[in-house]
Chains A and B, each alone.
Chain A
Amino acid sequence: MSWLSGLLIGLQEIREHKFRSFLTMLGVILGVASLLAMFALTAGIAAGWRSTMQQIGGLERVGINDKQVSLEFADLAALSPGRTLADAEALRGIPHLVSHIAPEMQVGATISAPDGATVSARVTGTWPDNFTVSQHEMAAGRFLTDLDLERGARVVILGDAKVAELWPDEYGTDADFLGRTITINGRPFAVAGILARYEREQDRRRRQALARGDKPPAGQAMGGRGPVGSGRRDMFSWKNESVIVPLSTLYHEFRSGQKDTPPLAMAKLDQLNFRVRDLSRFDETLREVQNLLKGTRRGVDDYDFDTREDWFERMETSLRSTQLSGGLIAGISLLVGGIGIANIMLASIAQRVRELGVRLAVGARRRDVFLQILAESTVIGIIGGLLGLGAGVLLLALLERLAPLESPPVIEPSAILISVGFASAVGVLSGLYPAWRASRLDPIAALRYE
């Protein structure tokens, strides 16, 4: 007898006892449903995190921050010029390790559009590389160029939120903002580019749904959030509120000319970020950068690297613990399900001793009986697993309706395979003992059994 006919007998048994089989499967159904839901939820969170991570520069982005010099070297600290453009220039020396360099200087300023509003803003002067380091995207126009930098051109790149503040009446229409002139602390700048609107995936989807005129999903308040990312500050607001000019322009227009300003090369930076070319050489890159900075900082250890690695690690740990607790619940359900299957199989064998006796009498071998019972419990496990998949999908849909999730769940094919795989394994394992019991039956005793 083959596995196939064993499976067919199993299916027939299940069809004969639909309700009993369903009850038997309940544990497996719940187990698989929670396993799938857990996988989908954590995959959703991970995907959300990954896209957020990508938008704020990815793992490759490293910042150089100031650090308090330890007390014993305090008298040396004065030797170091601190974080200056010289650092950034030095980083150019290792292009094989550092692919992009983005020094930043910032000034608070009043910006105003003659045909719009006047608002205050933090203006950033930087290099064209900032485009890649901060993972910007253009909605219109262009980013800074080397030529802008060289010439100290009066061009400005605006974030989406700033456009909304400057031209509230025209924002959201198809008005063209490129080439308009705004003033920054009274000096005219031409708008050369508009950055894309940065937002989380689910915000984007919600906004697009609203734009199509759909009703917002239940439980989601419509108000609060204007057409722009104004109201709430989130992790993208620093990008959306960008006002970016060439570093040289910013320095010459707003910083120099005052008394004892250092030359540009020695001017303090407010930020210095760079992009590691190859993540697999991350540590080596940091070591090389340290070597370079030894020169510019005159050996003083007054800086720190700000990497996303620990952030990433924290995310991984928290994901893993979510998975673990979800997996534990699912595991317990599956275990209970397995015990249920084993129990029902033992009961069903006891009911069918005589049937098994007849099968033995007409030539079934012990292993045929073993396979038959095992196939039956496997079928229960697999069907339970498939029903559990359905239940899991329903559960997720319900969850999303009742309480929209920060990160929408993602059902990956591997999660489906693993869930159903577990259910089948539970079916097989829980059938082993009953199948063994059945295969030990004495045909004569079984035939006589009442």
Chain B
Amino acid sequence: MTAIPDTPAAVDLRDVRKIYGTGPDPVAALDGVNLRIDPGEFVAITGTSGSGKSTLMHLVGCLDTPTSGHVSVAGEDISTAGSDRLARLRNRSIGFVFQAFNLLPRLDVQRNIELPLVYAGVSAAERSRRAAAAAAKVNLTDRLTHRPSELSGGQCQRVAVARALVNDPALILADEPTGNLDSANGADVLRLLASLHAAGRTIVLVTHDPAVAARAARIVELRDGRIIKDAKT
């Protein structure tokens, strides 16, 4: 990968440490991680359970800040950012896809997809237009008025992908997006992510499944909070 020096990295972690607990035996969930992800990359983060994958995701996703070290997302150093700034970054620059879908059960599909736009202050008309466009990308145009409880797991995860897309973020983070799906639906979601990558988005995919990780162009492996392997496939 030839990094163009003056383009800001999509993600840049410098000597990042995340320590949980302050008691006699604190846990270093991340212990000196350096990682640079360029715009347009498709990276898989793998590692055994407890190796720190989700912790890394949370930092990259601006849900948390590191105990020490520097985290930059989309050119912004968020190591010491306050909660409002983090919220704004999550809202504008990042789309999340979770293992457990995390849709709001009482909102219909359209309103679930619109959710990030609500907090971006987008008008109702524009919201529904963009929600419809995002739904079309994940093939759910005919389910806009349904509630999550009326959808299959695969459809739910596609709604989640649409929600992650709707704000047109540079970075899409997916934490075990196929974990709750059968293989067919899982493959569907992975195809979706691959197509988003093809369309130029940066994708970071967390998984402990090597087969899933193999879909990415670059695999980063963690163990005990450290990167033990960083390779292109």
* Residues in B whose Cβ lies below 8 Å from that of A447: 63, 98, 102
In whole angstroms, how far apart are the Cα atoms of A368 and B120 in the complex? 11
* Residues in A whose Cβ lies below 8 Å from that of B58: 444
In whole angstroms, how far apart are the Cα atoms of A365 and B82 in the complex? 11
Q: Is A421 an interface residue (CB 8 A)?
A: no
Q: How many residues of A contact B (CB 8 A)?
A: 22
Q: Is B84 an interface residue (CB 8 A)?
A: yes
Among A22-30, A56-64, A271-279, A352-360, the stretch in contact with B:
A352-360
Q: Is B91 an interface residue (CB 8 A)?
A: yes
Q: Are B91 and A444 in contact (CB under 8 A)?
A: no
Q: Are A363 and B106 in contact (CB under 8 A)?
A: no
Give A111 Cβ to nearest chain B Cβ, in Å.
83
Q: Are B102 and A358 in contact (CB under 8 A)?
A: yes
Q: How many residues of B contact A (CB 8 A)?
A: 26
Q: Is B156 an interface residue (CB 8 A)?
A: no
Q: Are A1 and B115 in contact (CB under 8 A)?
A: no
* Residues in A whose Cβ lies below 8 Å from that of B228: none
* Residues in A whose Cβ lies below 8 Å from that of B152: none
What residue of chain A has the Cβ atom nearest to residue B91's Cβ?
Answer: A363
Q: Is A218 an interface residue (CB 8 A)?
A: no
* Residues in A whose Cβ lies below 8 Å from that of B90: 360-363
Give A422 Cβ to nearest chain B Cβ, in Å.
31
Q: Is B23 an interface residue (CB 8 A)?
A: no
* Residues in B whose Cβ lies below 8 Å from that of A5: 118
What residue of chain B has the Cβ atom nearest to residue A361's Cβ?
Answer: B96
Q: Is A443 an interface residue (CB 8 A)?
A: yes
In whole angstroms, how far apart are the Cα atoms of A362 and B93 in the complex? 10
Q: Are A444 and B63 in contact (CB under 8 A)?
A: yes
Q: Are B84 and A359 in contact (CB under 8 A)?
A: no
Q: Mark B1-23, 1 if CB is under 8 A from A, else 0.
A: 00000000000000000000000
The A contact surface, by secondary structure, is helix
Q: Mark A428-450, 1 if CB is under 8 A from B, else 0.
A: 00000000000000011001000
Q: Are B163 and A362 in contact (CB under 8 A)?
A: yes
Q: Are B106 and A365 in contact (CB under 8 A)?
A: no
Q: Are A354 and B63 in contact (CB under 8 A)?
A: no
Q: Are A355 and B104 in contact (CB under 8 A)?
A: yes
* Residues in A whose Cβ lies below 8 Å from that of B102: 354, 357-358, 361, 447
In whole angstroms, how far apart are the Cα atoms of A359 and B90 in the complex? 11
Q: Is A364 an interface residue (CB 8 A)?
A: yes
* Residues in B whose Cβ lies below 8 Å from that of A308: none
* Residues in A whose Cβ lies below 8 Å from that of B198: none
In whole angstroms, how far apart are the Cα atoms of A354 and B102 in the complex? 8
Give A121 Cβ to nearest chain B Cβ, in Å.
80
Q: Mark B131-171, 1 if CB is under 8 A from A, else 0.
A: 00000000000000000000000000000000100010000
What residue of chain A has the Cβ atom nearest to residue B104's Cβ?
Answer: A355
Q: Are B119 and A366 in contact (CB under 8 A)?
A: no
When A1-B119, A16-B106, A355-B104 are in contact, do A362 and B91 touch as well, CB less than 8 Å? yes
* Residues in B whose Cβ lies below 8 Å from that of A444: 58, 63-64
**Contacts of B67-126 to chain A: CB distance below 8 A:** 83-84, 87-88, 90-92, 96, 98, 102-106, 115-116, 118-121
Q: Are B87 and A364 in contact (CB under 8 A)?
A: yes
What residue of chain B has the Cβ atom nearest to residue A365's Cβ?
Answer: B87
Q: Is A12 an interface residue (CB 8 A)?
A: yes
* Residues in A whose Cβ lies below 8 Å from that of B119: 1, 359, 362-365, 368
Give B94 Cβ to nearest chain A Cβ, in Å.
9
A-B contact pairs, 21 of them (CB 8 A): A1-B118, A1-B121, A5-B118, A12-B106, A355-B104, A358-B103, A359-B119, A361-B61, A361-B102, A362-B163, A363-B88, A363-B91, A364-B87, A365-B83, A365-B84, A366-B83, A366-B84, A443-B63, A444-B64, A447-B98, A447-B102
What are the 5 closest A-B residue pairs judged by CB atoms, nearest first?
A363-B91, A363-B119, A362-B116, A365-B87, A358-B102
Residues of A within 8 A of B (CB): 1-2, 5, 12, 16, 354-355, 357-368, 443-444, 447
Beyond A362-B91, A365-B87, A366-B87, 14 extra complex contacts between A and B, CB < 8 Å = A12-B106, A355-B104, A357-B102, A361-B63, A361-B102, A362-B115, A362-B116, A363-B92, A363-B119, A364-B87, A364-B119, A365-B88, A368-B119, A447-B102
